[in-house]
Chain A
Amino acid sequence: MSLKYIDEYRDSDLAKMLVKKIQSVNCKDLRLMEVCGTHTMSIFKHGIRTILPKEITLLSGPGCPVCVTAQKDVDAFVEFARQNNVILTTFGDLIKVPGSGSSLAKEKAEGADVRIVYSVFDAVDIAKQNPDKEVVFCAVGFETTIPTLAATILSAREDGVKNFTIYSANKLTPPALAALMETKGVQIDGFILPGHVSVITGTNAYRGTFEKYNIPSVITGFEPIDILKAILILVQQNATGLPALVNAYPRAVSENGNLKAKTIMNQVFKLCDASWRGIGQIPTSGMELKKEFAAFDAAKKFNMDMPEVSEPAGCACGEILMGLKTPKACKLYKKKCTPMTPVGPCMVSSEGSCAAFYRYS
Chain B
Amino acid sequence: MCLAVPSKIIDINDTVATVDVDGVTRKTSILLLEDVKIGDYVIVHAGFAISKLDEKMALQTLEDLRNILSADSSQA
Contacts and interface: CB of A to CB of B under 8 A. Distances in A.
A250 B6 contact: no
Given A196-B2, A222-B2, A225-B65, A260 B32 contact: yes
A68 to B, nearest CB: 12
A264 B31 contact: yes
Contact of B32 (A3, A6, A151, A250): A151
25 contacts: A3-B5, A3-B22, A8-B58, A20-B73, A37-B1, A38-B1, A91-B46, A93-B1, A119-B29, A119-B47, A122-B47, A145-B45, A147-B32, A148-B32, A148-B48, A148-B50, A196-B50, A199-B51, A222-B4, A225-B62, A251-B54, A252-B43, A252-B53, A260-B34, A264-B32
A291 to B, nearest CB: 23
A121 B32 contact: no
Chain B interface mostly? mixed
Contact of A14 (B8, B22, B43, B69): B69
Interface of A: 1, 3-6, 8-9, 14, 17-18, 20-21, 36-38, 42, 65, 91, 93, 118-122, 141, 144-145, 147-148, 151, 155, 195-196, 199-200, 221-223, 225, 229, 248, 250-253, 258-261, 264, 351
A21 B69 CA distance: 8
Given A251-B54, A351-B1, A5 B41 contact: yes
Which 4 residue pairs spanning A and B have beta carbons closest together? A119-B47, A222-B4, A251-B58, A199-B51
A21 B72 contact: yes
Contact of B53 (A65, A222, A251, A264): A251
B45 A144 contact: yes
B41 to A, nearest CB: 6
Contact of B47 (A118, A222, A229, A351): A118
Interface string B33-76: 11000000101011110110111011011100110011011000
Given A3-B6, A17-B73, A121-B29, A91 B1 contact: yes
Given A21-B69, A120-B46, A145-B45, 17 more contacts: A4-B53, A5-B6, A9-B62, A18-B65, A38-B1, A38-B2, A121-B47, A144-B50, A145-B46, A148-B50, A222-B2, A229-B65, A250-B57, A253-B51, A258-B33, A258-B50, A260-B32
